Structure 1
Amino acid sequence: MAFTYFFRDMSALIAVRDHVIRNLRNYRHIRVWDAGCAMGPEPYSLAIIFREALGYYGFKKVEIFATDLDEENRRFGQIMAKGIYPEKSIKRIPREIKDKYFMKVGHELFQVSDELRRSIIFEKHDLRSFRPVRSDFSLVVCKNVLLHFKEEERVKVIKMFYQSLMSNGFLVMEQTQQLPRQVEDLFDHIVQNVQLFQKVPVKEGMTNASAH
């Protein structure tokens, strides 16, 4: 399982704040799937972005499903849910954000706030099962994972993401990962220089052949 830093991809997080949350803020429920969450900094970074944008009450409607496949650690969910990280992993976080959402719990160790930890559900999940953890997601984030997959596997996974998203839902991928041509018609690329896409809804009475 890979390790990532908090606020690692600021351009993507800013795009989520400025484009995704702006479109979702009036929804009654906001469900996010971070597919390939590694050791947890990415879903917690997303949680901070949503909390800062929506405020205390608005953030209560946010639910983040953070999944990864760690065959060596059967206590994956429990470890991630504790939200304890070394100081070096939060070095990119602005001081005011660090003071607001992290508490020192040991020598060079910090724990994510209860509020953020309650918003995230950690689960083991194999993307190669090609089955989503649930449906009706507002946003799917998948970075630094699909580059390890074969082309046909990437296509199947992205089709799965499409099916798991609500109408007009959003998909974020890493900068180096382009949409395979087989699924280009499933999404609109909505932010230049960031791999942020919006689901193209199927028109009533029609089916999108690329999604199957």
Structure 2
Amino acid sequence: MAFTFFFRDLHVLNQLVEHSLPRIAGRSHPRIWDAGAATGQEPYTLSILFAEKMGHFAFGNLRIDATDSEATGQFAQTVQAGLYPEAELARLPAGILEKYFEPGGEPGQLRAAEKLRRRITFQHHDLLSYQEIGQGYSVVLCKNVLLHFQLAERIEVLKMFHRALAPGGLLATEQTQEMPAELAPLFERVSPDGPVFQKRGGCA
């Protein structure tokens, strides 16, 4: 079972959103790839953070493609339904719970608001296939996954993310990860105190 929770690594996510907003402004349909999304707490957190910063129309054009290698379909069902235990959601920051969640279909559960659910899609994907799910992404987020891979595997996965990003797009990883020296020609750090990197070669 994946271990994750809402607003995990908030410092990294806030930095990613801050650096992303100028880059996606004016893009008609900006896309984000959240790789290793597990049961969806991370993409829903990211969706909330963008909703708080973007106008209604701009947020309505945002799409988050959440992926995970879990193959039974359980993760997909959870993400698509947007249903989470009320006890888990009780730890959300003040005002967020009332604004973005509503009573679910079962006692003790709350459902993410439709405006969040409509922004997120889920698909099965194995990062070690080294095949990107698409190209032209403004943002790729992959936290608490790369640490489980060998260095050679991490390098190939990061190359895959580079191919998936639009020119100047942003990549965020977990706080403990350093960009391998071999990939210095592909990425440059844009946040001095956080793992947020820009694809070299212009703006998204």
Alignment-derived partner of residue 81 in structure 1: 80
1:153-172 pair list within 5 angstroms? 153-172=153-172
Once the two structures are overlaid, the 10-residue window that deviates more, 19-28 or 150-159, is: 19-28
Give the aligned length.
Answer: 201
Deviation at 1:38, TM superposition (A): 1.0
The alignment partner of 2:103 has SS state of: strand
Whether 2:4 is the aligned partner of 1:4: answer yes
Q: Percent identity?
A: 40
The alignment partner of 2:54 has SS state of: helix
1:49-198 pair list within 5 angstroms? 49-71=49-71, 73-105=72-104, 106-198=106-198
Given that 1:139 and 1:165 are in contact with CA atoms closer than 8 Å, whether structure 2 keeps it comes out as: yes
Aligned partners of 1:195, 1:27: CA distance in 2, in Å? 24
The alignment partner of 1:176 has SS state of: coil
Once the two structures are overlaid, the 10-residue window that deviates more, 92-101 or 33-42, is: 92-101
Alignment-derived partner of residue 48 in structure 2: 48
The alignment partner of 2:178 has SS state of: coil
Given that 2:23 and 2:138 are in contact with CA atoms closer than 8 Å, whether structure 1 keeps it comes out as: no
Aligned partners of 1:94, 1:48: CA distance in 2, in Å? 11
Alignment-derived partner of residue 209 in structure 1: none
Once the two structures are overlaid, the 10-residue window that deviates more, 24-33 or 160-169, is: 24-33
The alignment partner of 1:139 has SS state of: strand
Q: Which amino acid aligns with 1:160?
A: M
1:54-80 Cα offsets, whole Å, 9 max, x none, are 121111110100000113x23432332
The alignment partner of 2:123 has SS state of: strand
Structure-2 change in CA distance of 1:156 and 1:190 (3 Å): same
Once the two structures are overlaid, the 10-residue window that deviates more, 183-192 or 84-93, is: 84-93
Aligned partners of 1:90, 1:184: CA distance in 2, in Å? 39
Aligned partners of 2:41, 2:24: CA distance in 1, in Å? 23
Aligned partners of 2:34, 2:176: CA distance in 1, in Å? 18
Deviation at 1:28, TM superposition (A): 1.4
Given that 1:102 and 1:110 are in contact with CA atoms closer than 8 Å, whether structure 2 keeps it comes out as: yes
1:141-188 Cα offsets, whole Å, 9 max, x none, are 000111111111100000000011000000000001111111122111
Unaligned runs of 5+ residues in structure 1 are 203-212
Given that 1:25 and 1:54 are in contact with CA atoms closer than 8 Å, whether structure 2 keeps it comes out as: no
Q: TM-score, normalised by structure 1?
A: 0.90
Q: Which amino acid aligns with 1:196?
A: V
1:18-75 Cα offsets, whole Å, 9 max, x none, are 211132122112100000001100000111111111121111110100000113x234
Unaligned runs of 5+ residues in structure 2 are none
1:8-47 pair list within 5 angstroms? 8-47=8-47
Once the two structures are overlaid, the 10-residue window that deviates more, 29-38 or 87-96, is: 87-96
